[in-house]
A and B are shown apart, each in its own frame.
Chain A
Amino acid sequence: MINWKSLIAAALFASTGTTAAIGETVLRLDEVAVGELDPAKASDYADSILMFNVYDTLVLPTQGGPGHIGHLAESWSGEGNAYTFKLKEGVKFQSGNPLTADDVVFSLDRMKALGAGLSYLFGVVDSAEAVDASTVKFNLSSPYAPFVASLVRLPIVDKNAVMDNLADGEGDMKDWGQEYLSANGAGTGAYTVSSHNPQEETVLAKNADYFLGVGDAAPDTVRLRYGLEAATVRTLIAQGEHDIASQWLPPEVVQALAKDGAQLFTEAGTGAFYFKMNTTKAPLDDANCRLALASAFDYSTAVKMIAINDEISAGSPATGAIPVGMYGSNDASMVIKQDMAKAKEYLAACKYPAADMNIVVSWIAEVPLEERFALLMQSNFTELGIKSEIKKMPWALFAEQVAKPENTPHISQLFVNAVTGDPDTLLYGMYHSSTPGTWQSPEHLNDAQVDEHLEAGRTAASPEERAAAYGKLNARLMEIAPTIYGFDRQSVFAASNRVKAPALTDASQAFGLDGLGFSFRLMEMVE
């Protein structure tokens, strides 16, 4: 039978002369806009993907396990207030300039001077100095155990390339190369920037001179598109014109793509979904009330709501305040479950009568999934005889209102992740009494024991001591329940069958750091 649709399509296609360069492999993926190319300003997922491919860092998380390995660094030593790193020999920037300790010092100074993105991670670093051409020393103002982990967020920039391209600005450093680096790459990374439009698309090309080499099967060209609609992505993947969808597709679309034969990539271990309770507002200023709500929540239904299929879900059951795999986390088998009997016990011990309660459950307008969780929560609370009210809040309004405890809703729903993979960057901002009133801390928690464990976790000398400190923190957070620990987050990406990404499919190859699994040099094009 003649396939007339294909014939017409072929005729149209031929008339427009669309031909790809012979043998060239192209990987197409998408993310939400915008893609920030300046590595000192990188904070979102798209920025991280660009950063990890165009730039390199001194260390990388160990694949499939805890700790870090040297990347641009050959080795390092130190603890407490000083760390010294020896750089690998023979590493060159994409410009051809050799990597030196001066570049590392410059990269840190630039990040701190711009004060954007994740620069706050390096607030504890007083200075960096080049001991010699291949040795760099960091001086810290106080002991900070997660320092080495923080370095996965310090991309090393080509100082000479930046200095040659300074634009207007105040002082000797003018604009610190912001204009140049917002449109060009100046790293040692496995991919170079061919073109960049922060709202439309970034095109990357394989760097043949990469110091670790890039496999032949890795994509020659990568096209990272921004802001594609779910319907568009679905059609593009179905037509074979797209390879990896962003994690922000609605679960129904991912399910439909999976049914059509798409593979599912996952990235986990860095964050969780939390229902944060305002511990300063009645009735949630009473721990028994909070424990009653936490016990009444239907955790298993919440996880089912985000399931893509029987095997893969956008989250796994929570075991406590700390996601499984991080220091201090509980064993994966210790899943938190709904327990209405216990909820009633706690409610009886609460100083406020259930009949007088009216819990405001907020959800972020930009995340429709949260409305479903709010409805689930409302239904669970009704079983306890507690009234609740659902309130939709745009992110901008939410971020402003949480600054004051009296304006913060009783319950706020948030995805929070550890930007370095270390629990300090997940938990300190959420629970330390010195950091209330940010989007991460609508609990407004002020608990001396929690503070003590958090301080111990960031100053402990050994991994064992850190694990012990976070273990105690986890237990304390379960005891006072400032938060309902919804589920451990797992990002799910629908992908075509033309690409293999071991770091996103094999747990032993996973980095446990958002965006690093998208190191294109580790991917393989199958066609």
Chain B
Amino acid sequence: MTPVLRLLARRLGISLIVLIGVSMLVFGIARVIPGDPARIALGPNASTEQIAKLRASLHLDESIFVQYGHFIKDLSRGDLGISLYTNRPVTTDIAQFLPATLELVLVAGVLMIAIGLPLGIWSARFRGRFADHIIRLVSLLGVSAPSFVWAVILMLLFAYYLPLFPIAGRITDTYTIESITGFLLIDTLIAGNFQAFLNAAWHIVLPAFALALSGIGQAARLTRANMIETWDKPYIEMAQAYGYAPARIANRFAFKPSMIPSLTIIGLDFAAMLGNAFLVEAVFAWPGLSRYGVAVILRKDLNAIIGTVLIISAAFLIVNLIIDLLIAFLNPRIRYSQRDVK
């Protein structure tokens, strides 16, 4: 087995154990937080009989171990149960809301990498100069304010005072696009409707920027710090002594090792955006999974809570797996340290 495959197998095994642990933890926590899910679901006017009937149908009158057994049995059939919040299968809800969040997070992730890394490199390159100061200031601003603050500020600036971008939703409601992948940017292209694609892209700009700004700042600061640290290493001095051009030293010798810590943080940021997207989704009325997740937690919708947390956990693990593989690709020492245990 090649070192990379060995690494992949090991990480997949750990991910599976983590997912099982998460399911047990969330299952337990969701049942001990205050509030009767049946009472909340049926609303304030429900009778005692109605509540008892729903509790029985949800197995809430049985022990937590029996309930977990029912959950695992249903999960093995791909059934996450019915959401008490939307009265639909949780899998239907997730299938509907997840692509919107993934699309938003992916675009925000691309912005984070495409803007954050070059800013960090540039800042390190011009260390101590005017451009460096400006970039550090902007990065600090990005990191210090949470996404929802940026969401409101961006909305006020670029949708209210300067009406350049739309305020809410994923696409103007005059467009009817058949959902194939759930990703509007892709579905509009599949439909061959370039105007609709532009419209969807126009809608995603502000929410994606609001979500990405913190990550952009973090990526820029970290990349700058790592680049500066690497720049002081003896092998860089040696490269300078050999007379290599500064740009060549930066690209060939400094950039790659500087990327390893940045990639780890970017990976964590990227996965964390799945959860942090909630308030951005709320402000821009973005019909995503994060908004759904918070709504179901407030309603103590047990099935939906577990389904949403499992999906977000899985996404978190997948992103981390990809980052691990990328780091292994960049750093041979990690790649070749995955040895068989004799």
Contacts and interface: CB of A to CB of B under 8 A. Distances in A.
A38 B87 contact: yes
A125 B183 CA distance: 49
Contacts of B93: 199
A21 interface: yes
B282 A440 contact: no
A120 B46 contact: yes
How many chain A residues sit at the interface, stated as a range, is 35 or more
A33 B86 CA distance: 9
Interface string A413-431: 0000001000000000100
Contact of A198 (B34, B87, B283): B87
B87 A20 contact: no
A183 B92 CA distance: 12
Interface string A48-79: 00000000000000000000000000000000
B44 interface: yes
B45 A399 contact: no
Given A16-B198, A399-B35, A439-B44, A235 B87 contact: no
Contact of B163 (A38, A201, A239, A396): A239
A197 interface: yes
Contacts of B212: none
Contact of A232 (B36, B86, B284): B284
A120 B44 CA distance: 12
A43 B156 CA distance: 35
Q: Which of A33, A116, A199, A439 has the most chain B CB atoms closer than 10 A to its own CB?
A: A199
Interface stretch (B109-117, B129-137, B247-255, B285-293): B285-293
Contacts of A439: 44
Interface in A173-214: 178, 182-183, 197-201, 203
Contacts of B168: 225, 228, 232, 236, 241
A17 B160 CA distance: 20
Interface in B41-96: 42-47, 49-50, 53, 85-88, 93, 96
A43 B43 contact: yes
Contact of B35 (A33, A199, A200, A394): A394
Interface residues of B, number: 49
B285 A225 contact: yes
Interface stretch (A4-12, A297-305, A457-465): A4-12
B173 to A, nearest CB: 6
A150 B287 CA distance: 36
Nearest to B88: A182
B164 A8 contact: yes
B47 A120 contact: yes
A18 B285 CA distance: 19
A44 interface: yes
B163 A15 contact: no
Contacts of B49: 115
Interface in A223-253: 223, 225, 227-229, 231-232, 235-236, 238-239, 241
Contact of A396 (B34, B152, B174): B34
Interface string B295-320: 10000100000000000000000000
Contacts of B282: 227, 229, 232
Contacts of A480: none
28 contacts: A8-B162, A9-B162, A17-B195, A18-B172, A18-B199, A36-B87, A43-B43, A115-B49, A116-B42, A119-B50, A120-B46, A123-B47, A182-B87, A183-B88, A199-B97, A201-B287, A223-B173, A225-B168, A227-B285, A228-B168, A232-B167, A232-B284, A236-B167, A395-B35, A396-B39, A397-B34, A399-B35, A400-B36
Interface of A: 5-6, 8-9, 12, 15-21, 26, 33-34, 36, 38, 41, 43-44, 115-120, 123, 178, 182-183, 197-201, 203, 223, 225, 227-229, 231-232, 235-236, 238-239, 241, 394-397, 399-400, 419, 429, 438-440
Interface of B: 34-36, 39-40, 42-47, 49-50, 53, 85-88, 93, 96-97, 152, 155-156, 159-160, 162-165, 167-168, 172-174, 195-196, 198-199, 202, 282-285, 287, 291-292, 295, 300
Given A115-B47, A115-B53, A183-B88, 18 more contacts: A16-B202, A17-B195, A36-B87, A38-B87, A43-B43, A115-B49, A182-B88, A199-B97, A199-B295, A227-B291, A232-B167, A232-B285, A235-B167, A394-B35, A397-B35, A399-B36, A438-B44, A439-B44
